Structure 1
Amino acid sequence: MSVANLCHELGHDPGAYAPKPRVTVPAAVLLAKDDVTIRRFAERDADVRRWTELDRGGAYLALEVPELLVADVRAFFGPLAAD
């Protein structure tokens, strides 16, 4: 989805900025070197089970450091398989 499409959808959805129900599906957050987010909001809005902040990588993480991405995905889904 392009940023323009997202802006259009948010601008035409009266409930776009209204509070949403908490997501109960297990989630993981993987931040590349220069990514920024506010952890307390992520944890408030979703069931964050794994939080990883990398010291390298960027917008094309899967191309730049695929081994780190794969390791994090495996570490997240491994314990869920036992649930």
Structure 2
Amino acid sequence: MQVKESEQWGAETPDSGVPTGVAVFPGSKTVRAIAEKRTTVVHWSEFDRGGHFVPMETPDLVLGDLRDFFGTLR
């Protein structure tokens, strides 16, 4: 039996109710599968650059996105 990676991480668990922000960078297919199962996604960003080490490769994108997300929670 083949198990999807998102199922292995518990993506099928009930929603926690915690506001969630998602940043999708090129090649991030797993995070999309997990995030789309959530009902409390309040912030979604997609970027055309960045890689596996996003904070190191594109700190400007990460910092800007974190500020946008947390700014809405004040």
TM bin (shorter chain):
0.7 to 0.9
Q: Distance in 2 between matches of 1:79 and 1:17?
A: 27
Structure 1's consecutive aligned runs of 4 or more residues displaced over 3 angstroms after TM superposition are 16-19
Gaps of 5+ in 2: 1-7
Gaps of 5+ in 1: 1-9, 11-15
CA RMSD of aligned residues (A): 2.3
Structure number with the higher strand fraction is 1
Aligned residues: 65
Partner SS for 1:68? helix
Q: State the one-letter code of the partner of 1:67.
A: D
Q: In the TM superposition, what is the alpha-carbon distance from 1:79 to its structure 2 partner?
A: 1.4
Instruction: Calculate the TM-score normalised by the size of structure 1.
Output: 0.66
Residues 66, 29 of structure 1: CA spacing in aligned structure 2 closer, same or farther, 3 A cutoff?
Answer: same
Contact 2:11/2:37 (8 A) holds in 1? no
- Seq. identity, %: 35
1:50 aligned residue: 43
Q: Distance in 2 between matches of 1:18 and 1:73?
A: 23
Instruction: Calculate the TM-score normalised by the size of structure 2.
Output: 0.73
Contact 1:26/1:46 (8 A) holds in 2? no
Partner SS for 1:29? strand
Structure (1 or 2) with the larger CA radius of gyration: 1
Residues 48, 58 of structure 1: CA spacing in aligned structure 2 closer, same or farther, 3 A cutoff?
Answer: same
Residues 50, 35 of structure 1: CA spacing in aligned structure 2 closer, same or farther, 3 A cutoff?
Answer: same
